[in-house]
Amino acid sequence: MTISRRNLIRTTSGVAALSLIGKLSSQIDDRHHVVVVGGGFAGSTLARYLSLWGEQKFRITLIDPSSEHSSCVMSNLVLTNQIALSKLTFSHTPLADRFNFATRVGSVSEIKAGAKSVLLADGSELSYDTLVLATGIELDAIDGYDPARIPHAWIAGDSTELLRQQLNEELPAGGHVVMTIPEAPYRCPPGPYERACLLAAMARQITDANGGSGVNGSPTVTVLDANEDIQAEKATFTAAFEELYGDIIDYRRGVKITRIDSDNRTAYTTVGAFSGDVLNVIPNHQAPAILRNAGLVPTGDRWAPVDPVTYESALIGGIYVIGDAQATSQPKSAHMANAQAKVCADAIIRKTAGLATHASERINNLTTNSACFSPVNFNEAAWLTAVFRYNTASRLMELAPNSLGASEGWDRESYDDMYTWASNLFSDTFV
Ligand SMILES: Cc1cc2nc3c(=O)[nH]c(=O)nc-3n(C[C@H](O)[C@H](O)[C@H](O)COP(=O)(O)OP(=O)(O)OC[C@H]3O[C@@H](n4cnc5c(N)ncnc54)[C@H](O)[C@@H]3O)c2cc1C
């Protein structure tokens, strides 16, 4: 089960449950309408593979507030001016044309499970036979926090551009950046630590361009982690913080945000107040309100429980939840969202065709996988990968034995591999 480095780059799905596909579509009623809410990594992959494996028998409608999706994957490199956000932005139209499904620009405001329909913010209503929710995350509100002025850059788009602009135009030589890390589980476990490294690289570059010092002497990046420890690639990031940025990064554990002063770029926390020339606040995450309001998230929980054999909601039948919004303990990542979407597409096809989704040949081979590449400076990266396998006894997706792989430190080759890996993932999702 060990994934080699080369396989990591090539692999964009660990799904091993597709043996019957190709023999089923004649049994699918072509009036069956699948509505997919969200055109990010999970939703776009779902629409793509449901159409492909279902041999275009389904009527599919993909709904998203935008006609295009900006990828969070690689978006930390937008901050360092190494990639333009436009290069990470994918229109839904070519995918929909190629795989013959409909798109609708709009935001779903309510799920009417009883009526099998969704309400859109423009007041229109769309009925479905099967509903797939691929909405990603919602960021918690924080007292005083104005995301229009204090960027999170954790849902790629305007916020990413705002943080890029503040770093490039408002961070002086010897300047001070403050960033916060949300409580786990959050999307992309290594992502915040990768960002801390890149913020430090930026702060150093700006200072070096000024002769090595600035108004405050050396630059600093204060990292306020709500968790008690580094959440992914601990050895790598501990080494990176010490060896690459020991003079810049001030990493603090177990710090909870209580209030943000958006005018003065100050974070008030359980251990005091921290002000920066640039303040990057990444709030805690949860499944979006439309899922919570529909009863898909138990009271007091943050994520939607599902059966990982199908991704059907554990609470409301006929509704599937894939990607970051669902509650399995698999990492919240784009690679994983892509893999879950394939398992879900396969399950929807089987269920619609009247075949068993929990047949032993399927559940005994059900795997997903995840991969994250983390640049730690302008030309070197580390990586992490894991395979998850369905345990028929616990009925959970569990880390497969010996499948956890991580780079030893960081290097240039991994940085180059990162582009190949991302290109493969983007192609398998949006193209
Ligand atoms: C900086 C950063 C770096 C990352 N790097 C990696 C990496 O290296 N590898 C990796 O695998 N993952 C990475 N990730 C994580 C990855 O981006 C997410 O896990 C992934 O995007 C989750 O996919 P999703 O489909 O669940 O959500 P998203 O991709 O966010 O898509 C959700 C979509 O739903 C739409 N939507 C939301 N609400 C509604 C509504 N009410 N109606 C209609 N549409 C709606 C949104 O507009 C959006 O298009 C990174 C994340 C960040 C922030």
Q: What pLDDT, on a 0 to 100 scale, did the predictor assign at position 30?
A: 77
Ligand 1 pocket test, pick from 45, 333, 342 with the greatest ligand atom count within 8 Å of Cβ, gives 333
Q: What is the pLDDT of residues 374-419, one digit of tens each?
A: 999 999 999 999 999 999 999 999 999 999 999 999 999 999 999 9
Q: How far is the CA of 85 from the centre of ligand 1 (A)?
A: 15
Q: What pLDDT, on a 0 to 100 scale, did the predictor assign at position 27?
A: 77
Q: How far is the CA of 158 from the centre of ligand 1 (A)?
A: 14
Is residue 203's pLDDT more than 90? yes
Domains of the chain in sequence order: 5-136+287-430 (3.50.50.60), 141-280 (3.50.50.60)
Sequence-distant (6+) residues with CB within 8 A of 107 are 63, 65, 120, 121
Average pLDDT, the chain: 94
Is 367 in contact with 400 (CB distance < 8 Å)? Answer: yes
Closest CA to ligand 1's atom 51: 72
Q: E-strand spans in 4-67?
A: 33-37, 59-64
DSSP character string of 139-195: EPP-TT--TTTS---SSSSHHHHHHHHHHHHH--TT-EEEEEEPPSS-SSTTHHHHH
Q: What is the pLDDT of residues 89-120, one digit of tens each?
A: 999 999 999 999 999 999 999 999 999 999 99
Nearest atom in ligand 1 to the alpha carbon of residue 40 is 31
- What is d(CA 154, CA 285) in angstroms, rounded to the nearest whole number? 10
- What is d(CA 255, CA 252) in angstroms, rounded to the nearest whole number? 7
Nearest to 160 by CA among 82, 97, 271: 82
Q: What pLDDT, on a 0 to 100 scale, did the predictor assign at position 391?
A: 97
Ligand 1 pocket test, pick from 73, 233, 423 with the greatest ligand atom count within 8 Å of Cβ, gives 73
How large is the ipTM? 0.99
Least confident stretch, 12-21, 97-106, 119-128, 180-189: 12-21
CB atoms within 10 A of CB 367: 19
Q: How far is the CA of 64 from the centre of ligand 1 (A)?
A: 12
- What is d(CA 291, CA 303) in angstroms, rounded to the nearest whole number? 9
Place of tokens 């582009």: 419
Is residue 293's pLDDT more than 70? yes
Q: How far is the CA of 59 from the centre of ligand 1 (A)?
A: 24
Q: What pLDDT, on a 0 to 100 scale, did the predictor assign at position 296?
A: 98
Closest CA to ligand 1's atom 38: 135
Averaged pLDDT for residues 136-161 = 98
Averaged pLDDT for residues 120-128 = 98
